[in-house]
Amino acid sequence: MKKRFRPACKTAVLTIGKDRLRVAWTNSGIAAVERETLTTKRDLKRRVKMDLVEASPPPVFRQFLVLATNGKAEEVPVDLAWAKDFERDVLEATRRIPYGQTRSYSWLAREARRPLAVRAAATTMARNPLWLLVPCHRVIHADGSIGSYGNGAVGQARKCALLEQEGVRLASPTPRAKKRSKKQARTTHR
């Protein structure tokens, strides 16, 4: 039985502020950044479709990640070789959203040259392994509601905090969530 070639990238855990982040990178740039948990390495390996080899990160990575936490991720080189064409287009379009501004999921789908693939664009945002470098928090619903982000209410609060840090003021941060909760309340009492 032949073994298939599987590309590899380097990985390490860095502490930036209060966060322990697992970073995966290639010679072209950072391929993934996730908060370190017990399953992060395994999940990233599956997501970027590469083996992860522990290594010492270049010193400049700490500077890149500090810049990114301050909303300056445009300057950080990323490697999207692992992404499918549509995912790559969506992630690159997201990186073009200026600091302090938001765009809708439908805008994102149009920028990725698939205007009807709004849900697919939203799924790409939900699975974004570069959340710190590709500002998915800047993508909101067309009605101005923030939508989901990470883990439920905690994720929504984080998304609101990130947008607020950038000076974005949302008129009504979660009207969809309120509508859903009323609908769920009606269905649970039936």
The pLDDT tens digits for 23-35 are: 999 999 999 998 8
Q: Quick one: pLDDT at residue 90?
A: 97
Distance CA 28, CA 78 (A): 7
Q: Quick one: pLDDT at residue 186?
A: 36
Distance CA 128, CA 9 (A): 18
- 3-state SS record for 58-123: CHHHHHHHHHHHCCCHHHCCECCCCCCHHHHHHHHHHHCCCCCCCEEHHHHHHHCCCCCCHHHHHH
According to CATH, where is 1.10.10.10 located in the chain? 84-182
Short-list 90, 116, 114, 113, CA closest to 103 = 90
Given pLDDT bands bounded at 50, 70 and 90, which one contains residue 1? Answer: low
Range with the poorest average pLDDT among 112-116, 124-128, 148-152, 181-185: 181-185
* Most confident of the ranges 37-41, 85-89, 143-147: 85-89
Residue among 9, 125, 136, 139 flagged as catalytic: 136
Given pLDDT bands bounded at 50, 70 and 90, which one contains residue 152? Answer: low
Residue 173 has pLDDT above 80, yes or no: no
Q: Which residue has the higher pLDDT, 54 or 131?
A: 54
Q: Quick one: pLDDT at residue 13?
A: 94
Q: Would strands 8-16 and 51-54 be described as parallel, antiparallel, or unpaired?
A: parallel
Sheet holding 19-25, edge to edge: 30-35, 19-25, 8-16, 51-54
Q: Is 136 a catalytic residue?
A: yes
The sign of the CA dihedral 58, 38, 121, 68 is negative
Given pLDDT bands bounded at 50, 70 and 90, which one contains residue 119? Answer: very high
Query: Does the domain spanning 84-182 belong to CATH 3.40.50.11030?
Result: no
Given pLDDT bands bounded at 50, 70 and 90, which one contains residue 91? Answer: very high
According to CATH, where is 3.30.160.70 located in the chain? 8-82
Q: Which residue has the higher pLDDT, 175 or 90?
A: 90
Q: Quick one: pLDDT at residue 180?
A: 44
Q: Quick one: pLDDT at residue 190?
A: 32
Kindly report the average pLDDT of the chain as a whole number: 83
Q: Residues 22, 41: contact at Cβ < 8 Å?
A: yes
Given pLDDT bands bounded at 50, 70 and 90, which one contains residue 177? Answer: very low
Residue 184 has pLDDT above 50, yes or no: no
Short-list 95, 175, 178, 177, CA closest to 138 = 95
Q: Which is the CATH superfamily of the domain at 8-82? A: Methylated DNA-protein cysteine methyltransferase domain (3.30.160.70)
pLDDT in tens, 16-25: 888 899 999 9
Q: What's the CA dihedral at 94, 35, 52, 93 to 10 degrees?
A: 0
Please list the helix, strand and coil fractions of the chain in percent, rounded to the nearest 5, in that order.
45, 15, 40
